[in-house]
Amino acid sequence: MKVYQTKDIRNIALVGGAKSGKTTLAESMLFEAGLINRRGSVDDGNTVSDYRDIELERKNSVSSTVMYAEYNGKKINIIDCPGFDDFFGEVVAALSVCDTAFVMVNAQNGVEVGAEIAGRYAAKNNVPLVFLVNHLEHENSNFDETLRQMKSAFGNNVTPVQYPVNPGLSFNSIIDLLKMKMLKYPQGGGKPEVLDIPDSEKAKAEELYNALVENAAEGDESLMEKFFENGTLTEEELQRGIKLGIISRGMFPLFCVASKPNYGIGRLMEFVTTSCPDPTEMPSRKTVEGKEMKYNATGPACAFVFKTSIEQHLGQISFFKVYAGEFSEGTDMQNGNRGGKERISQVFAVCGKNREKLDKVMAGDIAATIKLKDTRTNETLNSGKHVEDIITKMIFPDPKFRVAIRAKNQAEDEKLGTIITELHNIDPTLIVEYSKELKQIILYGQGELHLNIAKWFIERVYKVEVEYLAPKIPYRETITKPAKSMYRHKKQSGGSGQFGEVHMMIQPYTEGMADQTEFPIRGRQEEIMPWGGKLVFHSCIVGGVIDARFLPAIMKGIMEKMEEGPLTGSYARDIVVNIFDGKMHPVDSNEISFKLAGRHAFREAFKNAGPKILEPIYEVEVFLPEDKMGDVMTDLQNRRGMILGMESEGAYQKIKARVPLAELNKYSTTLSSLTSGRATYTMKYIEYQQVPADVQTQLLKTYEEQEKEED
């Protein structure tokens, strides 16, 4: 392959809902470009894009696939993205390095959640959009309704450049408004017959053409003047106006394709090469210090790793986009994030599982290398002369689903930890937490499907059998009123014994509270607990009844009990402890005695201080169609959720609610069922609140039963 200069590169991402035809479109594009001589199909399991075992088994994409095509003297880098919401991290990565997002919409189903989510993310990050209406050859396809839904969801910027003449089982003709011709395709695809627009379509074509010209002219003052003078634009002027509209997001051109029979693909690729922006025409990516990274082919090399994968017989592959200079094999680079050096042994142009070796790639291009020692997704590689340029990291969506995971064979626990870490390096939206509190390994992901796919990889690829369990909830324990207690620890078994007696009063802690006045405070120590909240320790000892050297031991005993709370074994928080009396023995008193006395006294006082269990509360934002609001709100209320408000966001509604984490287990699955997959949500931790009395009773009962089983 020749070396392509920046202006001859086009980077596009194929996004949209599952089953919208992205993988089949990519296959047809490669066929049209002559990269493959036979088109595969998803059903037959022989496409370039879906080549992984899991994708062949499921017959849909679970990971993005990087490909390329050479067409009209340009190199088109294509990233085919999964359509399920569970794999949206792959879409985020693709859109961070592509210059145009091609949104696939199924003409049978209309606008689906995958398209809407991608559209929202693209708007947030100023990514240009081109829409493709696919599956027009099916009996239930409805172009007009699909267009109406698209304008409702994405605004009037959606502008048809083509429309179908005869959607349905006989579909084979498209009106191309740029050329003002009808393209009639032969059965089996190929080059269309270019015909004049039939009389029956002329009025509709003229109306849509005028709208297209007017929208194209709006992006440039000189074009607007020509439009007013002449009432139209030349094809070349129209293409320039469309490109400006794409770049500014003032226009979202709409094309018609039937990717399976290969209709409209060549015309689409022609449009990509003539009207889609090259990397230099897009806003520059910024470094962490705010510097704009211009696509300067002669400057020091800078590349950003946006994706990592593990390939059988090859190992780790790192996919990168070059932002400055040129990237070539045999060079030494430095990881700007970690500081380590990396030797670039080989550079490839990648097309699915096929690779073509390259001598170098220029700024703006996308390629891959193998076996980097210590460089991961979201990190920057620089030539040694310019190590301070670190590209801003991609921001992935927060996790929405959690499970506890453990190896069925405990001897493989350590191996499992290594595997999960490797999976996280490949997929940053898969997050692992080793919870000392819950005594569980918690795996977080985007949804139930996402974590089921992770389980498939662990068991099928890494050969470790695992099981998923319901994750425990990180409850907290606290008190609501003061209480006093006394505990004497006494042990005698020949020789020196153990003796310590502690009297204490505990109180609930609140920020800014006044100190108690019942006992004189002679010493104060505050500890911010690692799990949140405070412990305030007051020494109120008078007359030396407990030696000062034993006070740290008492506090240590209290903190140990706070780490394993008296009610359910959860962390305790927000407590003031006043040590006001006690006794020592001149021989038998020691630190262990007072640590145990303090621990037991605290436990007894805690149980008499109106103990309460606190639960984590999350703020949940649900994005959904208006017609599904009633069902979703009812479900949230059944989960002890408090609705905070509702507001419109584009064509969607947004519900805000506060919901206990304990009630959000498998919520993504339920939400998908309630809304036919058309809703999505985010969640973030807000605070801890007391659980209702009936919930606390049930938690105490469950904990007591567990304790009996362990005994």
In DSSP notation, 102-167 reads EEEEETTTBS-HHHHHHHHHHHHTT--EEEEEE-TTSTT--HHHHHHHHHHHH-TTEEESEEESS-
3-state DSSP call for residue 200? helix
| Concatenated DSSP letters of 80-105 | E---SGGGHHHHHHHHHH-SEEEEEE
Model confidence pLDDT, tens digit, residues 687-711: 999 999 999 999 999 888 887 766 5
Question: pTM above 0.75?
Answer: yes
Q: Are 188 and 262 in contact (CB under 8 A)?
A: yes
Q: CB atoms < 10 A from the CB of 577, how many?
A: 25
Nearest to 185 by CA among 263, 71, 294: 263
C-alpha span between 344 and 366 (Å, rounded):
15
Residue 145 has what pLDDT? 94
Cα–Cα distances in angstroms (integers) from residue 182 to residues 145, 185, 196, 418, in the given order: 22, 10, 6, 58
CB contact set of 111 (below 8 Å; sequence gap of 6+): 105, 146, 149, 150, 152, 153
Residue 496 clears pLDDT 80, i.e. is over it: no
C-alpha span between 403 and 419 (Å, rounded):
16
Pick the CATH number of 477-610 from 3.40.50.970, 3.40.630.30, 3.30.230.10, 3.40.50.12780: 3.30.230.10
Instruction: Tell me the helices (H) and strands (E) count for the chain, helix number first.
Output: 16, 38
C-alpha span between 423 and 427 (Å, rounded):
6
Mean pLDDT of 465-490: 95
Pick from 431-445, 491-505, 535-549: least confident:
491-505
C-alpha span between 567 and 478 (Å, rounded):
9
C-alpha span between 254 and 242 (Å, rounded):
11
Report, in this order, helix, strand and coil percent for the chain, each rounded to 5.
30, 30, 35
| Concatenated DSSP letters of 395-461 | -PPPP-EEEEEEESSGGGHHHHHHHHHHHHHH-TTSEEEEETTTTEEEEEESSHHHHHHHHHIIIII
Residue 387 has what pLDDT? 66
CB contact set of 251 (below 8 Å; sequence gap of 6+): 157, 159, 215, 216, 218, 219, 242, 245
Residue 386 has what pLDDT? 59
Question: SS3 string of 329-382?
Answer: CCEEEEECCCCCEEEECCEEEEECCEEEEECEEECCCEEEEECCCCCCCCEEEE
Q: CB atoms < 10 A from the CB of 469, how many?
A: 12
Residue 650 has what pLDDT? 66
Q: Which CATH number is associated with domain 6-281? A: 3.40.50.300
3-state DSSP call for residue 645? strand
Model confidence pLDDT, tens digit, residues 30-80: 999 999 999 999 989 899 999 898 998 998 899 999 999 999 999 999 999
**Residues listed for the chain:** 711
Under CATH, domain 404-472 is a member of which superfamily?
Elongation Factor G (Translational Gtpase), domain 3 (3.30.70.870)
Model confidence pLDDT, tens digit, residues 636-675: 999 999 999 999 876 678 999 999 999 998 898 899 899 8
Q: In what order do the strands lie in the sheet with 534-539?
A: 483-491, 498-508, 575-583, 534-539, 523-528
Mean pLDDT of 472-489: 96
pLDDT averaged over every residue in the chain: 92
What are 363's two structure tokens?
């700024």
Q: Are 691 and 614 in contact (CB under 8 A)?
A: yes
CATH architecture for residues 613-694:
2-Layer Sandwich (3.30)
CA 70 to chain centre: 32
Model confidence pLDDT, tens digit, residues 510-553: 999 999 999 999 999 999 999 999 999 999 999 899 999 999 99
CB contact set of 124 (below 8 Å; sequence gap of 6+): none
| 477-610 and 613-694 in the same fold | no
Model confidence pLDDT, tens digit, residues 317-367: 999 999 999 988 888 899 988 888 999 989 999 999 899 999 899 999 999
What is the Cβ-side half-sphere exposure of residue 320, based on CA atoms within 13 angstroms?
A: 34
* Widest pairwise Cα distance in the chain: 113
Q: Which CATH number is associated with domain 285-386? A: 2.40.30.10
How many percent of the chain have pLDDT more than 90? 73
Domain coordinates of the chain in residue numbers?
Answer: 6-281, 285-386, 404-472, 477-610, 613-694
Model confidence pLDDT, tens digit, residues 233-270: 888 888 889 999 999 999 999 999 999 999 999 999 99
